[in-house]
């Protein structure tokens, strides 16, 4: 009985400590990019769904944007369609785009919606095509080497970038106590489909909604310095310095730039979060400890 009472007391203590954070974020919109290990481990998937439902239950407004690269790759392999990447982006011809829409807009999106709803939420799945939610244009990729007189334009097919977000639709769903779950597929001016990086979509959605937080779930502990230590709180100036001195490079660079642009575009703070940690989202929102790297517009100390 004593053990049960101690466990109950610990739960009460945790809830009490979370109260100031709940008050701070009630009515605020948080955009969460969901992907990586957090979307593949059964335990982490269940935990993520519970976290999202809890956020909505206490008056916070989560908007979820998800990835699905590994699932797309698996189906393409089964269909004997070869995958090609340029600068980390999947070359998306018409056949590949059909698979992308099938996997992201169907399989992955509906599984996340179903999981959230099973835990008591009211999630609604969307792609950028619904009510022109994510307006897009073709992404132009160019390369130039010292011996070239002008850049080479590379056609990577139906890969796009965001040019507009239908905030009216998202605000209507949020006010109706629904949880939007967005697949990163955009629609062009002539109705064509575009495959868009999920981090980029999440950042642009957060900017358009003037969200309190943009949270990008990753498979790393956070942004690290050259000594391998996680950098917890950074200003936009400090991030630019880390890019300039080469601390931020390679595959982390697009993610950090996305987080940086969101803050510069009006989001209060961006967070690079370790999605491999159980309850990663709640740790970042409701505790002082946090769970990764925060980027904000506060001035350099």
Is 69 part of any known ligand binding site?
yes
Between CA 53 and CA 55 the distance in angstroms is: 5
Determine whether 57 is exposed, middle or buried from the number of CB atoms within 10 Å of its CB (0-12, 13-18, 19+): exposed
Q: DSSP letters of 128-144?
A: TTGGG-EEEEEPPEEE-
Pair type for strands 179-183 and 123-127: parallel
Between CA 235 and CA 86 the distance in angstroms is: 31
- Do 126 and 57 form a contact (C-beta atoms < 8 A)? no
Q: Provide the H-helix boundaries in the chain.
A: 2-25, 42-57, 69-78, 94-100, 109-118, 167-175, 198-209, 236-244, 252-264, 280-286
Is 90 part of any known ligand binding site?
yes
Tokens encoding 104: 């992201």
Which of 16, 19, 71 has its CA nearest to residue 45? 71
Could you tell me which residues are annotated as the binding site for substrate?
68-69, 90, 195
């Amino acid at each position: 009985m004593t053990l049960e009472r101690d466990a109950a007391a610990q739960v009460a203590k945790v809830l009490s400590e979370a109260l100031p954070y709940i008050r701070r974020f009630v009515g605020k919109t948080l955009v969460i990019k969901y992907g990586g290990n957090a979307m593949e481990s059964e335990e982490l998937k269940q935990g993520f769904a519970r976290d999202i439902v809890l956020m909505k239950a206490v008056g916070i407004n989560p908007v979820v944007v998800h990835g699905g690269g590994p699932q797309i790759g698996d189906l393409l392999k089964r269909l004997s369609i070869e995958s090609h990447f340029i600068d980390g982006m999947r070359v998306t011809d018409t056949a590949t785009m059909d698979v992308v829409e099938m996997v992201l807009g169907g399989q992955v999106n509906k599984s996340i919606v179903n999981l959230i709803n099973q835990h008591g939420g009211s999630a609604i799945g969307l792609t950028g095509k619904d009510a022109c939610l994510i307006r897009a244009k073709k992404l132009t990729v160019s390369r130039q080497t010292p011996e070239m007189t002008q850049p080479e334009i590379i056609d990577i097919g139906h890969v796009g970038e965001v040019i507009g977000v239908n905030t009216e639709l998202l605000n209507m769903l949020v006010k109706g106590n629904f949880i939007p779950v967005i697949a990163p597929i955009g629609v062009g001016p002539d109705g064509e489909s575009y495959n868009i990086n999920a981090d980029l979509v999440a950042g642009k959605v957060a900017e358009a909604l003037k969200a309190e937080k943009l949270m990008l779930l990753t498979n790393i502990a956070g942004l690290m310095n050259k000594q391998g230590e996680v950098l917890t709180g950074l200003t936009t100036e400090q991030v630019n310095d880390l890019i300039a001195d080469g601390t931020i490079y390679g595959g982390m660079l697009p993610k950090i730039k996305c987080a940086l642009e969101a803050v510069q575009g009006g989001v209060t703070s961006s967070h690079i979060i370790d999605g491999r940690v159980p309850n990663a989202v709640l740790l970042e929102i409701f505790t002082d400890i946090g769970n990764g790297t925060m980027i904000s517009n506060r001035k350099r100390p």
